[in-house]
Structure 1
Amino acid sequence: MSSQHNLLQSKQFKCSVSSVLNKDVKQHGKTFMFDGLEDTAWYSDQGLPQNINIVFNEPLESLDLSTCQLKIKFQGGFVGSVMTVSLDDSSSQNVYKKCFYPDDINDMQIFTLDAESNGKKLENVKKLSIVFEQSSDFFGRIIIYHLELLA
Structure 2
Amino acid sequence: AEHTLVKGMSVSSVLNRDVKQFGKKHMFDANEETCWNSDQGASQWVTLDFPRTVKVSRLHIQFQGGFSSRLCTLEGCRTGEELVKISDLYPEDINALQISFETALDKLKITFENSTDFFGRIVVYHLGVLGERL
Q: d(CA) in 2 for partners of 1:109 and 1:133?
A: 14
1:136 paired with 2:121, answer no
> What secondary structure does 2:31 align onto?
coil
Question: Tell me, which stretches of 5 or more residues in structure 1 are unaligned?
Answer: 114-120
Q: Across the two proteins, how many residue pairs are aligned to each other? A: 131
| Residues 1-151 of structure 1 aligned to structure 2 (within 5 Å) | 5-7=2-4, 11-60=5-54, 63=55, 68-94=57-83, 96-103=85-92, 105-106=94-95, 108-113=96-101, 122-123=103-104, 125-151=105-131
Question: Tell me, which stretches of 5 or more residues in structure 2 are unaligned?
Answer: none
AA aligned to 1:135 is: S
Q: Is the 8 A contact 1:77 1:136 kept in 2?
A: yes
Which one has the bigger strand percentage? 2
| Residues 1:54 and 1:27: Cα distance change in structure 2 (over 3 Å) | same
* Displacement after TM superposition at 1:93 (Å): 3.8
Q: d(CA) in 1 for partners of 2:6 and 2:91?
A: 27
* 1:117 equivalent in structure 2: none
AA aligned to 1:19 is: S
Deviates more, 1:20-29 or 1:50-59: 50-59
Q: d(CA) in 1 for partners of 2:120 and 2:90?
A: 15
Q: Is the 8 A contact 1:53 1:127 kept in 2?
A: yes
TM-score, length basis structure 1: 0.78
| Residues 1:48 and 1:150: Cα distance change in structure 2 (over 3 Å) | same
* Displacement after TM superposition at 1:85 (Å): 0.8
